[in-house]
């Protein structure tokens, strides 16, 4: 399933509503650290392994699209 993701920095939360996820991450957007934290938080929220979450687009943007395999 594809989700649109809006990222906020220096915050720690996750809100899922229909096909949209609003997420706050603490990592800085350097060297892929923020994207890795994003994947970990989404996987933990849905109770799936990290391999079940992949970043489809928006690697360098606050607006992303992720694929979640249940």
In terms of DSSP bridges, do strands 53-57 and 2-9 run parallel, antiparallel, or are they unpaired? unpaired
Burial class (CB in 10 A: 0-12, 13-18, 19+), 61: exposed
According to the model, what pLDDT value does residue 18 have?
A: 96
pLDDT tens digits along 10-57: 999 999 999 999 999 999 999 999 999 999 999 999 999 999 999 999
Q: Distance from CA of residue 13 to its chain's centroid?
A: 11
Output DSSP code: residue 51: G
CATH homologous superfamily of domain 2-68? Answer: YggU-like (3.30.1200.10)
Tokens of 24: 């706050």
Domain residue ranges of the chain, discontinuous segments joined by +? 2-68
């Amino acid at each position: 399933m594809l989700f649109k993701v809006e990222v906020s920095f220096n915050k720690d939360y996750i809100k899922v509503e229909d096909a949209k996820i609003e997420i706050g991450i603490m990592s800085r957007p350097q060297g892929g650290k923020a994207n890795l934290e994003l994947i970990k938080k989404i996987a933990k929220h849905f109770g799936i392994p990290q391999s079940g979450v992949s970043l489809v687009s928006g690697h360098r943007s606050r607006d992303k699209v992720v694929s979640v395999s249940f």
